[in-house]
């Protein structure tokens, strides 16, 4: 299990980090929330075949997020109003 644990934690960290590449508020928040919820949902999975499958899919998602985050960063120029209002901009 611990064999996959390190890999899973690295993937998780990288996914959360990739969310920050998105300058568009709503995409950034979604990538963060979706990654977090996927890891919470699957944290008790013990079947090694299933874990490998999840890791593979997670890595595929990470590559997409990194590519699209880079593209988004080049085209997103404006902030949504609540990003400028500290009272609302904290992550939930």
Partner 1 sequence: MASLLKNSTQRAVRPLCRFRGLASLPVYLDAQATNPTDPRVLDSMLPYLTEQYGNPHSRTHQYGWDSEKAVDKAREQIAGLINAHPKEIVFTSGATESNNTALKGVARFYKGKKKHIITTQTEHKCVLDSCRKLQEEGIDVTYLGVKKSGLIDLEEFEKAIRPDTVLASIMTVNNEIGVIQSIEEIGKICRKHKVFFHTDAAQAVGKIPIDVNAMNIDLLSISGHKIYGPKGVGALFVRRRPRVRLEAIISGGGQERGLRSGTVPSPLTVGLGAACEIASVEHAYDYEHAKRLSQKLVDGIQSRVGHIERNGDPQHTYPGCVNLSFSFIEGESLLMALKDIAISSGSACTSASLEPSYVLRALGSREDLAHSSIRFGIGRFTTESEIDYVIDKIEHHVNRLREMSPLWEMYQEGIDLSTIQWSQH
Give me the residues that bind partner 1 (CB under 8 A), please.
22, 24-27, 29-31, 33-34, 37, 61, 64-65, 67-69, 71-75, 77-85, 88-92
Which CB, 2 or 54, lies closer to partner 1? 54
Distance CA 26, CA 79 (A): 10
With CA atoms as reference, report the closest residue to 8 among 61, 58, 65: 58
Minimum distance, C-beta of residue 5 to partner 1, in the bound complex (Å): 24
Which CB, 1 or 40, lies closer to partner 1? 40
């Amino acid at each position: 299990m611990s064999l996959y644990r390190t890999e899973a934690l690295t993937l998780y960290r990288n996914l959360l980090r990739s969310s920050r590449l998105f300058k568009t508020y709503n995409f950034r928040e979604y990538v963060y929330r979706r990654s977090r919820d996927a890891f919470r949902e699957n944290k008790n999975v013990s079947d090694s075949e299933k874990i490998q499958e999840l890791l593979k899919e997670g890595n595929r998602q990470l590559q997409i997020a990194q590519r699209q985050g880079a593209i988004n960063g080049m085209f997103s120029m404006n902030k949504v109003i609540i990003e400028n209002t500290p009272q609302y901009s904290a992550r939930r």
